């Protein structure tokens, strides 16, 4: 059975592309055949985060316009043979593709992949509509900031309106020190405001910047705590979203954060 | 955390240098809207023309797009092994 998951946020710069890349890598490492699709036509970046920017010959728009075969547009990851990238066009506009064409494309990809992860552009216009068109469910990425949470709320409403199942929330750039000082909204605050089940929490980490510099997602790094957090999240996706309900009930902030980050080794690394 | 990455990649090569190198190349390609395939084809065609006049040491040929001052330049270095006989 195949599933198409769109990674969206409303606000830009909260980590959609990094999330898509790392979940894609982690799911592929766990044995699934994965295609990550860059739906940000005109501003592609998923190729850069994956370090595949020099391998692009054809793109999503060229495939949709019949200028190449799907197999020609797909780029196999150089490290993980189960992982493929379908890059966006860089010099076209969002209107180059329609929601109908996206649904057709996702249907095609489902013949060959277990998971299709769609990296949604920021905003709520045509690019967003295209990105959710073929999706079976959504992951909403937010950060513990006012503006990101507000936009996440708007996006959650639009996902409901599009009659997709209830999305899951990924809280990115979580700064435990600030949370403990009471200077940052904590996980439970955010969940209370957005009333959306949690997929996981990713701590703010230098690893993410370094790995973007290298084009080498942290999910590949066996000893990276953040990589571990992504791998745990991928396991939850690979299992059943519904099984997470019990975990969502957990009390005790730091313990539950540690559980969601998925690393008891986190404290060892920092201290 | 950083040590994990450093160990993994080797400490000498700073990641920001890699980011800068990748970005420069990326921006050139974005501005020209040329695929790696097209650049490879152009290289092939240019070499074809040069080959009519010169014998080039193709192993050592360097062929790349780069920033020179404010402009994008096609920078080539084609070491000449010898001049073809029968020229002219």
pLDDT tens figures, B30-77:
888 777 678 888 888 998 999 888 898 888 888 877 777 777 888 888
**Binary contact (A57, B37; C-beta < 8 A):** yes
Contact call for B22 and A48, based on CB within 8 A: yes
> What tens digit of pLDDT does each residue of A172-196 get?
999 999 999 999 999 999 999 999 9
> Which residues on chain A are in Cβ contact (under 8 Å) with B15?
209-210, 213-214
The minimal CB distance from B1 to the residues A90, A205, A213 is found for A205
Domains present along chain A, CATH in parentheses: 3-270 (3.40.50.300)
Q: How many CB atoms lie within 10 A of CB A54?
A: 14
How far away is chain A from the Cα of B19, in angstroms, using its nearest Cα? 4
Task: Give CA angle at A244 (A37, A183), nearest 5°.
Answer: 85
Summary mean pLDDT of chain A: 90
Comparing CB atoms, the residue among B1, B15, B25 nearest residue A214 is: B15
Residue B15 lies in a domain: no
**What are A127-163's pLDDT values in tens digits?**
999 999 999 999 999 999 999 999 999 999 999 999 9
In 3-state terms, what secondary structure has residue A221? coil
Cross-strand bridge partners of residue B76: B63
| A207 lies within 8 A of chain B by CB | yes
Q: Does the pLDDT of residue A236 top 60, yes or no?
A: yes
Which uninterrupted H or E stretch holds A198?
A: strand A198-203
**B1:A212 CB<8 A:** no
Q: Is residue B48 part of a domain?
A: yes
pLDDT at B3 exceeding the cut of 70: no
Residue B8, chain A, CB below 8 Å: the answer is: yes
Q: Is residue B1 part of a domain?
A: no
Residue B83 lies in a domain: yes
B18 occurs within a structural domain? no
As a whole number of Å, the CA-based R_g of chain A is 18
Which of B4, B15, B36 comes nearest A54 by C-beta? B36
- Taking the C-alpha atoms of residue B2 and residue A51, their distance in angstroms, rounded to an integer, is 19
Q: Strand A75-76 and strand A168-174: pairing?
A: unpaired
Higher pLDDT, B13 or B49: B49
In a domain, B22, yes or no: no
Integer Cα distance of A127 and A221 in angstroms: 32
The least confident of A67-71, A212-216, A239-243, B46-50 is A239-243
Beta bridge partners of A201: A171
Contact of A223 with chain B, judged by CB distance below 8 Å, is answered with yes
The phi, psi pair for A33, rounded to 5°, reads: -85, 120
Q: For residues A151 and A26, is the Cβ–Cβ distance under 8 A?
A: no
Neighbours of A46 (CB within 10 A): 26
Structure tokens of B88?
Answer: 């002219």
Total count of domains within chain B: 1
Interface check for A90 against chain B (CB to CB < 8 A): the answer is yes
Q: What is the ipTM of this complex?
A: 0.75
Tell me if chain B has a CB within 8 Å of the CB of A56: yes
In contact, A59 and A87? CB cutoff 8 Å? yes
Q: Which domain, by its residues, includes B87?
A: 34-88
């Amino acid at each position: 059975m195949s599933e198409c998951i769109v990674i969206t946020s409303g606000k830009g710069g909260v980590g959609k592309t990094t999330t898509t890349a790392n979940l894609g890598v982690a799911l592929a490492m766990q044995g699934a055949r994965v295609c990550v699709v860059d739906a940000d036509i005109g501003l592609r970046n998923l190729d850069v985060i994956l370090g595949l920017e020099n391998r692009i010959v054809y793109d999503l728009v060229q495939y949709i316009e019949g200028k190449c075969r799907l197999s020609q547009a797909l780029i196999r990851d150089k490290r993980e043979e189960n992982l493929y990238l379908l890059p966006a066009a860089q010099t076209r506009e969002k209107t180059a593709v329609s929601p109908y064409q996206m649904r057709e494309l996702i249907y095609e990809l489902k013949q060959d992949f277990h998971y299709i992860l769609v990296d949604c552009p920021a905003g709520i216009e045509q690019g967003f509509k295209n990105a959710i068109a073929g999706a079976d469910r959504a992951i909403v990425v937010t950060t513990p900031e006012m503006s990101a949470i507000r936009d996440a709320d708007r996006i959650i409403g639009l996902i409901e309106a599009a009659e997709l199942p209830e999305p899951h929330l990924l809280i990115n750039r979580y700064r435990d020190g600030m949370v403990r000082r009471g200077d940052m909204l904590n996980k439970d605050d955010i969940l209370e405001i957005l009333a959306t089940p949690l997929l996981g929490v990713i701590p703010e980490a230098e690893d993410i910047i370094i790995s973007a510099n290298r084009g080498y997602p942290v999910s590949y790094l066996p000893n990276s705590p953040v990589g571990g957090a992504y791998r745990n999240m991928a396991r939850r996706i690979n299992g059943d979203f519904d099984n997470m309900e019990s975990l969502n009930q957990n009390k005790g902030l730091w313990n539950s954060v540690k559980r969601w980050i998925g690393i008891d080794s986190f404290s060892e690394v920092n201290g | 955390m950083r040590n994990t990455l450093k160990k993994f990649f080797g400490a000498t090569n700073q990641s920001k240098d890699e980011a800068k190198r990748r970005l420069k190349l990326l921006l050139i390609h974005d501005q020209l809207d040329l695929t790696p395939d097209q650049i490879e084809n152009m290289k092939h065609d240019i070499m074809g023309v040069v080959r009519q006049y010169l014998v080039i040491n193709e192993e050592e040929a360097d062929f790349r797009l780069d920033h020179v001052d404010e402009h994008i330049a096609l920078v080539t270095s084609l070491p000449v092994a010898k001049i073809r006989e029968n020229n002219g």
